[in-house]
Amino acid sequence: MITYEGIHHIGVNVTDLEKAKQFYRDILCLQELERPPFDFEGAWFAAGEQQIHLLVIPKSQTIRADKSLSSREGHFALRIHDYDETLHWLQSHNVSMLEKPNSKSGFAQIFCADPDGNLIELHVERTH
């Protein structure tokens, strides 16, 4: 049997490290962490107690062939504190979004994508 403590990190393939770092740092407001000196480019970010590891592969493609925003394709989800504040922040930074404030999941959700098309869900527990 396997006993889990939780998810430590998610590895996300990106093609342009500087563009990706700018998005995760300046748009998603994640804190960049120190990264060991691997023999390939990448960056680590803190997402609460978990981490997101950007892995540079210049000719990489995401798991999504269609880069349009969708709530039904492979993605990772980040829990946020305030739906409206996050929505306004992303709007002020001209980020394309799919809004699902009344999702049947029980979460108020915002879907967006990084510069490589990796799908990201931002959500809060719905209170009403």
Give a three-class secondary structure readout of 17-42. Answer: HHHHHHHHHHHCCCEEECCCCCCCCE
Q: Where do runs of H (alpha helix) occur along the chain?
A: 17-22, 83-92
Question: Mean pLDDT for the chain?
Answer: 91
**Is pLDDT of 97 > 90?**
yes
d(CA 75, CA 5): 21
pLDDT digits (tens, 9 = 90+) for 39-86: 999 999 999 999 999 999 877 766 666 667 877 778 899 999 999 999
Residue 16's pLDDT is 93
- 9-125 classified as CATH 3.40.50.1100: no
Q: Which two tokens stand for residue 106?
A: 């029980």
**Residue 51 DSSP label:** E
Residues whose CB is less than 8 angstroms from the CB of residue 48 and which lie 6 or more positions away in sequence, other chains included: 78, 79
Residue 71: predicted pLDDT: 77
Rg (CA), the chain: 15
Is residue 44 within 8 A of residue 89, CB to CB? The reply is no
Q: What angle do CA 38, 116, 13 make, to 5 degrees?
A: 30
pLDDT computed for residue 62 by the predictor:
66
Total-model pTM: 0.89
